[in-house]
């Protein structure tokens, strides 16, 4: 079971690295499309969408560890003993 955990951790690391590279790539492609002299609005809109999604995704990527730490914090807060059950 620990091999599986290590394997998954390795994949997470790989995915994070690929994501950062992908962010940079998409951002560049987005700006390239946006600024290109192709006279189709659809192309410019596609470029705009790439840029937005890439930045938004990069934000969530960076916030990833914070999100999970927040969940852990809230969950531990809820581990207080429950109130006494109502006696009938």
Neighbouring residues of 57: CB distance < 8 A, sequence distance ≥ 6: 19, 23
Query: Of 37 and 78, which CB lies nearer to another protein in the complex structure?
Result: 78
Dihedral over alpha carbons 58, 63, 64, 66 (to 10 degrees): 170
**Residues of span 23-82 touching another protein by CB under 8 A:** 23, 25-26, 29-30, 46, 49-50, 52-54, 56-58, 60-61, 64, 67-68, 71-72, 74-76, 78-79, 82
**Which residue matches tokens 């599986």?**
4
- Collapsing DSSP states into helix, strand and coil, what is residue 82? coil
User: Phi/psi of residue 36, each to 5°?
Assistant: -75, 155
Q: Which residue ranges make up the site for another protein (CB under 8 A)?
A: 1-2, 4-5, 8-9, 11-12, 15-16, 18-19, 22-23, 25-26, 29-30, 46, 49-50, 52-54, 56-58, 60-61, 64, 67-68, 71-72, 74-76, 78-79, 82, 85-86
């Amino acid at each position: 079971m620990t091999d599986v955990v290590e394997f998954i951790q390795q994949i997470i690391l790989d995915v994070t690295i690929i994501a950062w590279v992908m962010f940079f790539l998409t951002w560049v492609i987005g700006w390239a499309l946006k600024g290109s002299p192709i006279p189709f609005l659809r192309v410019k809109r596609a470029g705009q969408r790439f840029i937005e999604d890439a930045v938004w995704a990069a934000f969530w990527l960076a916030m990833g560890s914070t999100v999970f730490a927040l969940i852990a914090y809230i969950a531990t807060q809820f581990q207080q003993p429950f109130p006494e059950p109502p006696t009938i």
